[in-house]
Chains A and B, each alone.
Chain A
Amino acid sequence: MSAMSDDRSGSGGLNRPRSNSDSPGRRALRRFLRHRLAVFGLVVVVLFLLAALLAPWLSPADPLQTSWTAIRKPPSAAHWFGTDENGRDVLSRVLHGARASMAAGVLSVTVALLIGVPIGVLAGLAGGWVDAVIARVADAMLSVPFLILAIALAAFLGPALENAMLAIAITASPIFVRLARGMALEARATDWLEAARALGNPPWRLGLVHVLPNIVPPLLVQATLSIAEAIIAEASLSFLGLGQQPPAPSWGSMLNSAQRFLTQAPWLAVFPGLAIFLVVLAFNLVGDGLRDALDPRGERR
């Protein structure tokens, strides 16, 4: 058949030795792994996730166990990170605090994605007044500084870790609405989406089967960066007493109580501060690496 010469002329020749096909996801993963800082970030993120998950087993002591004999002791062999004003082991509290922080970061951003992405895709594909209303509401929410809105919502919902997470999720969702809407608008103008429509795809399938997989990369990048932001927000809310409630440990509330002893017992502030710094940096590195790996302009490299 005449097709054969055409087949051979193709850049993706069919006689390639590799048996497995090269999916877009796999190529992105390869590019990501070449990015050293991003891989470092990923390792740190995984370590903190493990710390959060395994905190009860990793901790040398009960994070709530007070002791009159070990008040504000500097780091030592018995207490690697020292002890706080109530004689509690700081290492154990940092490890348990990771639970609040990681949960706030990962869960609230997951909820934000679940709220924001469907609404954004709907707006982008539906157009018209639906789009206008959704886009204006998202813009209005984005015009308020992130932390201010989160504090207002958290204060309204009442001081508790769950409420802080919900407040963060709601505050973080408009960025996903806007992102998903923009990408869906872009997709709506493409031939492949028109082709999908011409094949007889119902609207929900256009969104779910065609648009969604194509907008995952930027959403993933934004989600990673949003997690870093959410962790800071959780720490801030806890610092203000709107998040994790004492005596349960959280990096933010640990910093709050540490500020009274900043000169006498700096380790009280250093370790939770370091933890926040490391996790946020790591998530940002992963986000940057993902952005480079998933950038469509890098596809042909």
Chain B
Amino acid sequence: MSEPLLELSGLRKHFPVRDALGRSRGAVRAVDGVSLAVDRGTVLAIVGESGCGKSTLGRLALRLIEPDAGTVRFAGEDLGRLSAAALRARRRDMQLIFQDPFASLDPRMTVGAAIAEPLRLHRIVPRAGEAARVAELLERVGLRPESARRWPHEFSGGQRQRIAIARALASGPRLVIGDEPVSALDVSVQAQVVNLLAGLIRDLGLTFVLISHDLGVVRHIADRVAVMYLGSLVEEGPADSVFAAPRHPYTRALLAAVPGRGLRAPPIEGDVPSPIAPPPGCRFHTRCPHAEAVCREQAPALAGEAHRAACHLQERLPPAPALQANEPGGERLRRLQSFFQPAGSDA
């Protein structure tokens, strides 16, 4: 295909840390040199522990925060060069779904007004057609059209997230970034919202960036997976390949940590080092079971073709253990899920 829809290159964002007197105490290196491309119509998942910078990366990609360095190209256009007004107009094509549906809806706006707002801002439908379009969007996310007159506080978490999804889709965006779109929801509702998203991505041909730490969800809908650790990418590649043959020890550890469905890999110990003073060399060497001298001195670059990893030892590591076929507790989990899944559900 042609050029990617979203192209990040060398993105960096450091948040200054100040003490009580306002003196600089270094900076949190939230995102430290990330380059990524997302092809049209594909789903890229960005995974990593909390605090690894994946949410910051999502906001940088939409230029909701300004990068310290690096560029974001959307459909070939450098977002950093756009004027404030041009950027606002461009927002029609790129939207964000937030993690917490209890925080992301304006409490003083009815559901209908919230969904109609992007339609008005970008003059997408004439005022007369607004109500019909809002009703259509509500139905598309599985809510009743009458919900438009209600207030956000009248809805449950899952319903609110559907409203937020309808709002994000209202302007007909080409790119949607979901920042942990289901992790704040009840487990029983998560599957429904994931299925809704998967259906929308398929039907609307969306390009989707899923920021998540839930590898189960990622495996379900992602085409490609990017793994972040302390502000940098450690591995990136096709989802199948990353899940089946993870090359970076951190990715292996992440997969091993998924309860019940992981692969057997040596567990990692200790905490994530401080992003204010990340370790020299490979940032993961403090916790890596395979670390050698070179890892402590030289930062590895991403290497490989379609499936890239930033590890000095990736050619020499023992092959990744296979994913466990029989997941402990898997049967119970499935029964539980089928219990919550309504019969005859397409999603």
Contact = CB atoms under 8 A, between A and B. Distances in A.
B81 interface: no
Q: What bracket does the count of chain B residues touching chain A fall in? A: 35 or more
Nearest to A197: B64
A11 B158 CA distance: 11
Contacts of B164: 195
Interface stretch (B94-102, B224-232, B233-241, B260-268): B94-102
Contact of A24 (B104, B107, B159): B107
B146 A9 contact: no
Interface string A2-24: 11111101111010000001111
B162 interface: yes
Interface stretch (A32-40, A69-77, A86-94, A186-194): A186-194
Nearest to A216: B108
A145 interface: no
A9 B156 contact: yes
B107 A214 contact: yes
Q: Which of B90, B121, B341 has the most CB of A within 10 A?
A: B121
A200 B91 contact: yes
Interface residues of A, number: 34
A9 B104 contact: no
Interface string B97-116: 01110011111111000000
Interface in A102-142: none
B64 A194 contact: yes
A198 B158 contact: no
Contact of A14 (B98, B108, B146, B346): B146
A214 B189 contact: no
Contacts of B108: 24, 213-214
B154 A12 contact: yes
Contacts of A6: 142, 156, 158-159, 162, 189, 192
A103 to B, nearest CB: 31
Contacts of B341: 2
A21 B154 contact: yes
A195 B162 contact: no
A201 interface: yes
Contacts of B118: 199-200
Contacts of B121: 199-201, 205
A247 interface: no
A3 B104 contact: no
Contact of A200 (B89, B151, B158): B89
B255 interface: no
A1 interface: yes
B64 A198 contact: yes
B106 A196 contact: yes
Contacts of B167: 195, 199
A141 B323 CA distance: 68
B87 to A, nearest CB: 8
Contacts of A4: 142, 342
B345 A10 contact: no
Interface of B: 62, 64, 85, 88-92, 95-96, 98-100, 103-110, 117-118, 121-122, 141-144, 146-147, 149-151, 153-156, 158-159, 162, 164, 167, 171, 188-189, 192, 195-196, 340-342, 345-347
Given A12-B150, A201-B117, 16 more contacts: A1-B346, A1-B347, A6-B159, A9-B156, A11-B154, A12-B153, A21-B149, A21-B151, A23-B110, A24-B107, A190-B103, A194-B64, A195-B98, A199-B95, A199-B121, A214-B106
Interface of A: 1-7, 9-12, 14, 21-24, 190-202, 205, 210, 213-214, 299
30 contacts: A1-B142, A2-B196, A2-B346, A3-B143, A3-B162, A3-B196, A5-B342, A6-B156, A7-B144, A9-B189, A10-B154, A10-B158, A12-B150, A12-B154, A12-B159, A21-B150, A192-B107, A194-B96, A195-B98, A195-B105, A195-B164, A196-B117, A198-B96, A199-B91, A200-B89, A200-B121, A200-B122, A202-B85, A210-B106, A214-B108
